[in-house]
Amino acid sequence: MLFQLVMLRRFSLLLFAIAVCAIPLFSQPAADSAFIRDHFTKREVMIPMRDGVKLFTSIYSPKDKSKKHPIILRRTPYSCSPYGEDKYTTYIQNMHLARAGYIFVFQDVRGRYMSEGDFVDVRPFNPDKKSPQEADEASDTYDAVEWLVKNVPDNNGRVGVMGISYPGFYATMAVLANHPAIKAVSPQAPVTDWFIGDDFHHNGALMLMDAFSFYSGFGKPRPKPTTESSKGFSDWNTPDNYDFFLRAGAIPHFSEKFGMKDIPFWNDLMAHPDYDEFWRARNPRPHLKNIMPAVMTVGGLFDAEDCFGAWRTYEAIERQNPQTLSNRIVMGPWVHGGWARTTGDRLGNVVFGQATSEWYQKNIELPFFEYYLKDKGEMDLPEALVFETGSNQWTQYDAWPPRLARPVKFFFHEGGKLAVAPPPSPDRLPADKQMDEYVSDPSKPVPYTEDVHLHRTREYMTDDQRFAARRPDVLVYQTDALSDAITVTGTVTADLWVNLSTTDADFVVKLIDVFPDTLKGEENGVPLGGYQMLVRGEIMRGRYRNSFEQPQPFVPGTVTQVRFDLPDVAHTFKPGHKIMVQVQSSWFPLADRNPQQFVNIYRAKDEDFIPANVQIFHTPLGASGVIMPVLRK
């Protein structure tokens, strides 16, 4: 590769600006729709699987018959709408691909919409099938591809697979299908592990808003094939989600009051509070070995749903396929699927200064498929292409995390200081100066944003955290103003030494970029002077500090280590800025409340929720802080 032995190369901002200015900021839907209808013919078929189940499939073939075209397949639980051979989609994820000449295939996965069979959420991969009746998503992908290359006219025998979010999970399954025609796969924001880091749990904590809102509609059983979607919960009776979820009370009320007991997967959530075989079976990462196709995993640095999945899918392939030279990752300054749905030039009050999405579609995604499916161009894409926020520039590396990144611990100190120097010896400080403490009260949990709104925002991923810093139940540690830039690239690890008055608690750690007080201007009416930009936040359910499989209670009065990873970051803290870390024990209603007692939270009663006194120590014997991979340039 062109990038071997190159530790860090930055794309020219001038060339980037020229490329962006030379193309429209984003495709117009009406023009795209007209192009699709004018240049493609549509066909709808039922493709048989090995066990006799037939899957509904829409095929869009170019009218250009002068050459053979590769196939790009997207398998989805969200429908192939619109249905009917005279009704054309208005959306193809990347119109540069549409104009380059590909056969686009969309398929309802087993048990969803117009496909036959029974649907299983994140259906486990079966590596040892013993009969045709033992089908999974990988075998369904294999069978679909086998049929397509034999029955779709004018295809060149090569297939690419792509998909965002849940379709990203099905793209990962295509990697495991091992069909020789599948040459290139791009799992994008792929659902990967629904207990450890994606969507509905983060480190064992239930991500309440997303789980309830999504499964109240998506999780309803489908008795027979249909073109209609199910409606989710709508009886909110308030514009304030904090108020709604707080009044709703303990998790069992959601089953009884709001009809969630009729949702099969919600019942699965309730029945499997720990990381047992049910969850392990739904994690595809251990199976990502002996990879045949080229893989390009794509994700967003500010993806509230599946940031974990993108980083960890790439990591699993890289670790388990040491000889594979065609495994890449692209991470931009995007929300969930933002590279296909937004211009990617800003998020909330934070501006990145570049229309990153269109540039990615044309200069990264298109060349990837053109090379592997058509033998066009040269494969000179880097191993890792990552947008570095703060400095707001694309960076590329021959490995991720970068080889020159070194772990540096930033220690908590008395008085809210954050520094690389370790804390002083305990004998130099009185007992009340060796730790900080707060009361975590489940009746007044820390909100995840200061705004009043009903549905979970995307913008919270870069929201100003000054509202939280002012609360007495949030600890704040920050450096002095930086004299030199500090670039953090890779996994950030929280290392807390805690003492509780109760037997359980959650811990939320947030990495924050504090803008200079003297910075002028504002965004969306928010002054940027002193802005506390959330760079990364993560929650850890304390009972899982030693094992997700076997939770353990805390022993009140005993100092205990709680260590956990935050999803990777790529951010430069500029000179004059400060690095801040906030620590708290609730993040509501983003995550459910912990009763702060060692009880089954999914069976907890309202009276089980009690306040906890939380102490965070900062002595050499209990040196709390965060470990950050600092890039040496």
Which CATH number describes the domain made up of 405-631? Answer: 2.60.120.260
Residue 183 phi/psi, 5-degree rounding, is -105, -25
Sequence-ordered list of residues with C-beta below 8 angstroms from that of 223, at least 6 positions apart, any chain: none
Report the C-alpha gap between 174 and 284 in whole angstroms: 11
Local structure of residue 362 (DSSP, 8 states): I
* DSSP per-residue codes, 436-493: EEEEE-TTSPPBS-SS--SSPPSGGGG-B-HHHHTSTTSEEEEPPPPSS-EEEEEEEE
Sign of CA dihedral 141, 169, 75, 185: negative
CB atoms within 10 A of CB 108: 25
Q: What is the pLDDT of residue 423?
A: 92
Domain coordinates in residue numbering, the chain? 9-193+282-397, 405-631
Q: What is the pLDDT of residue 28?
A: 64
Report the C-alpha gap between 179 and 181 in whole angstroms: 5
Q: What is the pLDDT of residue 30?
A: 79
Give the CA-trace dihedral at 97, 98, 104, 106, to 10 degrees: 90
Report pLDDT digits (tens) over 382-419. 999 999 999 999 999 999 999 999 999 999 999 999 99
Q: Whole-model pTM?
A: 0.94
Mean pLDDT, contiguous 10-residue spans, the chain (633 residues):
36 34 48 92 98 98 96 97 94 93 98 98 96 95 98 98 98 97 98 97 98 96 94 95 97 95 96 98 97 97 98 97 89 98 96 96 98 96 97 97 97 97 80 90 98 95 98 98 98 98 98 96 91 98 98 97 98 98 98 98 98 96 96 82
Report the C-alpha gap between 136 and 143 in whole angstroms: 11
Which CATH number describes the domain made up of 9-193+282-397? Answer: 3.40.50.1820
